[in-house]
Structure 1
Amino acid sequence: MKTVDAKHPIEFTVPASGVGSFYVQEDHRSNFYNHYHRHKEYQISYILKGRGSMLIGNLIQPFLEDEIYILKANDPHIFIKEGAEEEQIHAIHIFVAFDKLWSFFDLSELQPARDFFKNIDSSKKIEQDISLKIKAKFQELAKEEGIHKLMCILEVFQFLIAHEQDMHSLYSGLPESNFNDKVGVRINEVLRFSLANYDKEISIEEVSKLIHMTPSAFCKYFKKHTMKTYVTFLNEIRIEKACQLLINKATENISEVAYQCGFNTVVHFNRVFKSILNTSPTEFVNRHSAQALAK
């Protein structure tokens, strides 16, 4: 990874590097890599500790402990931790570089793994009830080298192939060509500001100043590169945060949730909630309560 020079924008493309054909990275620190980025390697990430929001393409959603993310090559993404600054995150990442490994995957025994990566149509998520079955193997990966590391990785591949039907798509519909380094830097600024201030009133004038544009130019720029308006994007962040509050029962008062997430009226909150999730907040709470009782 290149060292960031404070005088220049960050690199948008962040290639994985390291010793060996498969690069395994362990993050055990205060935060994830904190720039919106992409790389040519496929990335398989197990979240051992930490929670927050992730943006992939133009799709924002929460992430939780004991979830697995399979990120398709060149899908722009960022994990952003929530919680106290001193809280640690812990994640294990496997990076798969096909330009190094094509002859390895050409072995007939590895055809299922090659087909899995070749045919994956979008980035994916595996939820906790399934991912816990392979947790110990990811934990081993951080300690192993040589043939033992390779055997662990092959077991992870076998697990992914066996549970392909259990994966949730993270397809955002965002064309890869929409992004370059400069766009990544700007979107990163807008994303971070929005996540830090979603509970307040945010004007287009305020957010456009972040990336030194007029409001009109910013609206066109954001729509071009994310395929949605900034207002839609901000509302999706707010509804995602509202869902977390409702699921975690931080409050059972829907009016309070609405105001905590930046909506001025409950009527507006209900309308936006239904337009994004095709259900009302009350129906959402009832459904998740029923699912929790059924487990």
Structure 2
Amino acid sequence: MRIIPFKIPKTRNEFYHYQIDRLKCFYDKLHQHPEVQITYIEKGRGTLIAGDYTGRFAPGDVFIIGSSLPHVFKSDENDHLQQNRPSVGYSLYIDMKAWEQEFWKSNDTLAVAQFFHQCYQAYQCHVSLARQLACRLKRIGRVTGFKRTLEILGLLDMIYEHREKMHMLSDGGWLKIIPETEDTRMSRIIRFTLEAYHRPISLQEVARVANLSVEAFCRYFKTHTRKTYISFLNEVRIHHACRLLAEKEFTFSEIAYQVGFSNLSYFNRIFKRVTHKTPGEYALMLEKP
């Protein structure tokens, strides 16, 4: 799995592409494209990697992925079988370069155009804004022609006007600067981690995956992600622990073991460091309506 330059299927005259994905699981290759992506998750759960952010996605979430930011929506294994339904997402891709016409240079539209043109980050929208954007993204699919254009303009205006209701997930600096020759190496590391997080992983093992010595691997990973590999691994484990807590089927000890921790006190400490809550506090939060 490498960072794939992904081509959005649109004609040369289009400044956007709208698509509805109904799949067994979402596209699971780490990829990037110059278009800004706005995605509403209607069905499906899994792990989102966007730049230096690793977290969960679930029904109701709306994400904004900045231009050229490497990302992947990796669906949970067997989620579509357990739920007996496919993953469903509504996505709008905006090509800001195609919008660099006089229309976007007017006083009325300049601020909105500049915001999206300079968008290289990843965001998650707060619940109230996500609900409104979800309705608009679905409505875009029900109209055509200039009405669709108006709906898209309304969507962009809503995002800009309520930008304080968006939580930044990644500032866009991570992975984007990785030379093309390094894409495969970083992708191998990420794929290996997502597949093996539930068991003990030594630095020696993951360094072999990257075909580097341990010392060179630690420098390489820290240089490109601005965090240690252990920090990244712990974040992946904790986000999977959050999913298990939501299922309410296991004790804290069982969850800690299932996501790769052999020590409950260490699991509790890392859980609070990542989520700013203890496992108990997080579980209580899930029970609130």
What are the ranges of 5 or more consecutive residues in structure 2 without an aligned counterpart? none
Equivalence for 1:4: none
Equivalence for 2:212: 213
User: What is the CA-CA distance between 1:263 and the residue it aligns to?
Assistant: 0.5
User: What is the CA-CA distance between 1:187 and the residue it aligns to?
Assistant: 2.1
- What pairs with 1:94-243 in structure 2 (closer than 5 Å)? 94-103=92-101, 104-118=103-117, 120=119, 122-172=121-171, 174-175=173-174, 178-243=177-242
Instruction: State whether residues 32 and 80 of structure 1, in contact with CA within 8 Å, keep that contact through their aligned partners in structure 2.
Output: yes
Change (3 A) 1:196 1:176: closer
Does residue 14 (structure 1) correspond to residue 12 (structure 2)? The answer is no
Aligned-partner SS, 2:4: coil
CA RMSD of aligned residues (A): 2.5
Change (3 A) 1:170 1:267: same
Change (3 A) 1:76 1:101: same
Equivalence for 1:6: none
User: What is the CA-CA distance between 1:53 and the residue it aligns to?
Assistant: 0.7
Q: Show CA shifts across 1:113-157 (max 9, x none).
A: 214324657321114443222433322333543213212212211
Equivalence for 2:66: 72
- What pairs with 1:40-79 in structure 2 (closer than 5 Å)? 40-79=34-73
Which residue, 9, 19, 22 being the options, matches 1:25? 19
Which residue, 228, 233, 258 being the options, matches 1:260? 258
Identity %: 27
2:208 partner letter: K
Aligned-partner SS, 1:136: helix
Change (3 A) 1:173 1:25: closer
* In 2, Cα distance between equivalents of 1:43 and 1:121: 11
Instruction: State whether residues 51 and 63 of structure 1, in contact with CA within 8 Å, keep that contact through their aligned partners in structure 2.
Output: yes
* In 2, Cα distance between equivalents of 1:218 and 1:125: 31
Equivalence for 2:278: 280
Higher mean alpha-carbon deviation, 135-144 vs 49-58, is at 135-144
Higher mean alpha-carbon deviation, 262-271 vs 183-192, is at 183-192
Aligned-partner SS, 1:263: coil
User: What is the CA-CA distance between 1:44 and the residue it aligns to?
Assistant: 1.0
User: What is the CA-CA distance between 1:255 and the residue it aligns to?
Assistant: 1.2
* In 1, Cα distance between equivalents of 2:149 and 2:141: 12
User: What is the CA-CA distance between 1:15 and the residue it aligns to?
Assistant: 3.8
Aligned-partner SS, 1:73: coil
Tell me how many residue pairs correspond in the alignment: 282
User: What is the CA-CA distance between 1:61 and the residue it aligns to?
Assistant: 0.6
Change (3 A) 1:185 1:34: farther
Q: Show CA shifts across 1:173-230 (max 9, x none).
A: 7356532333333222222221222111122232233333333332222222111121
* In 2, Cα distance between equivalents of 1:279 and 1:10: 34
Aligned-partner SS, 2:249: coil
Instruction: State whether residues 56 and 77 of structure 1, in contact with CA within 8 Å, keep that contact through their aligned partners in structure 2.
Output: yes
What are the ranges of 5 or more consecutive residues in structure 1 without an aligned counterpart? 1-8
Aligned-partner SS, 2:265: helix
* In 2, Cα distance between equivalents of 1:43 and 1:101: 15
Which residue, 267, 270, 275 being the options, matches 2:268? 270
